[in-house]
Amino acid sequence: MKSATSKIRVLLVDDHFFVRLGLARALNREPDFKVVGEAGNGTEAIEVFRRVMPDLVLMDYHMPGRDGVAVTRALLKEFPPARVLMLSIEEKEEDVHRALAAGAAGYLPKATQREELLRAMRTVHGGERFLPPELAALLTARVPANELTARELEVLELVSKGLSTREIANVLGCAKTTVKWHFKNIMQKLEVSGRTEATRAALERGILHVE
């Protein structure tokens, strides 16, 4: 049990060194925070977590290789009590949903101001969930029944790259009619009427990301 004067021990996970440097300097100036570890990728994050056993993880969503969602899922599988606050440049409903579904206790845009970040960290460390009102509203408006299946996501990604129905069928090893059936379901779920609209809607919602 921590005493009232104990500091919240933080692990920073971000693939940008200067982001970690800035966060570490800011947090170490606070009376109730102490950065005890840093990691530049997902694999390193899990290794460092095992070594330092932090109270709270500030996790970057977008990282090369294993992204923040995959790392959060792996951490919570091995360490169920872990508390993760996700930071991202994205503010799209699917990104927020995936982060929380993976077990993150909060989600913040990277453009968040210092005071809100500190408040979010203290809230998450205290065992509660933290979402800015605008992101909470996105989740409230989200329709779970409209989630795309794994195969539909594959088809949608290939459509967004400009592949024809025949080319998609060759890539996935299925019949053209199967591809057409999947895309029909995609259009119904995204409430669109064509390839261009489907791609645009997927990017706007965060289902797909520009690489």
For the chain, domain boundaries: 8-141, 144-205
* pLDDT greater than 50 at residue 149: yes
Separation of alpha carbons 93 and 2, rounded Å: 35
* pLDDT greater than 70 at residue 106: yes
* pLDDT greater than 70 at residue 111: yes
CATH architecture designation of domain 144-205: Orthogonal Bundle (1.10)
Residue 71 and residue 41 in contact, taking contact as beta carbons nearer than 8 Å = no
Residue 159 and residue 152 in contact, taking contact as beta carbons nearer than 8 Å = no
Mean pLDDT to the nearest integer, 182-204: 86
Mean pLDDT to the nearest integer, 38-65: 94
The reported pTM is: 0.69
Amino acid of residue 62: H
| Domain 8-141 coded CATH 3.40.50.2300 | yes
The reported pLDDT for the residue numbered 3 is: 44
The pairs formed by 106-113 with CB atoms below 8 angstroms and a separation of 24 or more are: 106/130, 106/131, 107/131, 107/135, 108/132, 109/135, 110/19, 112/87
The reported pLDDT for the residue numbered 144 is: 54
Mean pLDDT to the nearest integer, 147-173: 90
Q: Do domains 8-141 and 144-205 have the same CATH topology?
A: no
* pLDDT greater than 50 at residue 16: yes
Percent pLDDT > 70 in the chain is: 93
The reported pLDDT for the residue numbered 173 is: 92
Which candidate, 192, 208, 189, places its Cα nearest to that of 94? 208
Separation of alpha carbons 137 and 202, rounded Å: 19
Which candidate, 120, 59, 122, 126, places its Cα nearest to that of 95? 59
The reported pLDDT for the residue numbered 1 is: 37
